[in-house]
Amino acid sequence: MSDSNRQWILASRPEGKPTEENFELVESERPEPDANEVLVRTRYLSVDPYMRGRMREGESYADPWAVGEPMQAGVVGEVEQSNHDDFEAGDVVAGNLQWAEYSIALGSELTPVDSDLAPISTALGVLGMPGRTAYFGTLEVAEPKPGETMVVSGAAGAVGSVVGQIARMAGARVVGIAGSERKCEWLTDDLDFNAAINYNQEDVHEALSEACPEGIDAYFDNVGGEITDAVFANLNVDARVAVCGQIALYNAEELPTGPRKLATLIEKRARVQGLLVSDFAPRFEAATERLGQWVSEDELHYEETITEGFENAPEAFIGLFEGENIGKQLVEVTEDVRAAS
C-alpha cells in the first residue's frame, strides 16, 4: 500500500464542453481512517454525464463541486483499513467517494459488493446507480405495457441500454436512438431492440415515423434537445415520458427556448415526469437483487467501456460528450486482483 495518494480536483469551471485544463492531478499523503471510518483503495471509478452539472456553479439537484476541491464519483474499491465493525480489510465495497486512489468514508456510507454475483465493476453500472435508474424509471415512470411502443434516447449508454431491455421484457416494442452504426447494431443484434435510429445519419423525425408507425406510448429521455422534440411530435394519447437526463444541453452556455412543446401534451394528455433515482433509495436492495437475477439468467446484457489508468479519468469523462462509450464508462484505477486471479 502506497504512502501517497493521487486525486483529481476541479481546477476551473468549464465554459461549454469540459477540457483537460478544468482538471488538476495533485498528490498528498495517504489519509488515515478515524473512528467508524474506512480507508478504501479505488479499483473502478465511474464517470457520468450528470457530473457536468456539478462543475457548474449554481443550484441543482446535486451540489456543485468547489473549485480547488476533490471531485466525487461512484467508486468500487477494496477496504485497506477499517475502524468500522461492519467492514474488514479485503472487503469489496461501493460508495460515492472522491476521484482518488484512496478515500476515507464512514462505514454507513459504504455498501458491500458481492464479487460472486458478477464482476465488481457492475456495481457502478448494471447493478449500480445506472441499472437502478433504468429499473425504476422504466417500470414506475415510463410504465411500458405489452404491445406498446417505447422509445429510448441515449439508448446505447449505461442507463438507456438497460431501459430498453427491461421494456422489452415487459412486452413493449422498443426503439432506441443512438449516435453511430456500431451502437445501433449493438442495440438490435445484441440487446434485441426492435429498431435503432442513428441520429447522426438519419432525419430523426422521419426515422421515428417509420420505426413507430402506430406512434409512441412511452419515452425514456436521456438526451433532450432536438431528439426529444422529434419524439414529442409522435406521442400517442396518454403517453408517458420519463425525463432522466438532458445531455444535449449540459454544455450549453445559453439554453435554447424553442420550439415549444407543451401544447402537444394538452392534445395527447401525456404525462411528463422527472426522475431522480435517489427518490427510490429505500428499495435499492430489491432492485439490485432483481437486476442481478436477470443478469445471472442471461436475460439482461450489459457492456462496459473501461479506460485504464487513474491519470486518464478526465479523458474518459470528456469522452462521454463525444459519444465514445458503449454501455457504462469506467476508469480502472488499480488492477482488480479477483479478475487477475
Mean pLDDT of 235-242: 97
The pTM of this model reads: 0.90
pLDDT surpasses 80 at 253: no
Q: Say if strands 216-221 and 235-243 run parallel, antiparallel, or are unpaired.
A: parallel
Mean pLDDT of 313-329: 92
Range in 104-113, 176-185, 245-254 with the lowest mean pLDDT = 245-254
**pLDDT value at position 340?**
40
| DSSP string over 87-100 | --TT-EEEEEEESB
The grid coordinates of residue 97 equal: 467517494
Q: Where are the beta strands (DSSP E) in 83-215?
A: 92-98, 102-106, 111-112, 149-153, 173-178, 195-198
pLDDT tens digits, one per residue of 123-161: 999 999 999 999 999 999 999 999 999 999 999 999 999
Prior bond to 119 cis, omega within 30? Answer: no
Q: Say if strands 92-98 and 111-112 run parallel, antiparallel, or are unpaired.
A: antiparallel
Distance from first CA to last CA of the chain, Å, rounded?
A: 19
- Asked if 112 and 79 touch (Cβ cutoff 8 Å), the reply is no
The grid coordinates of residue 200 equal: 447522426
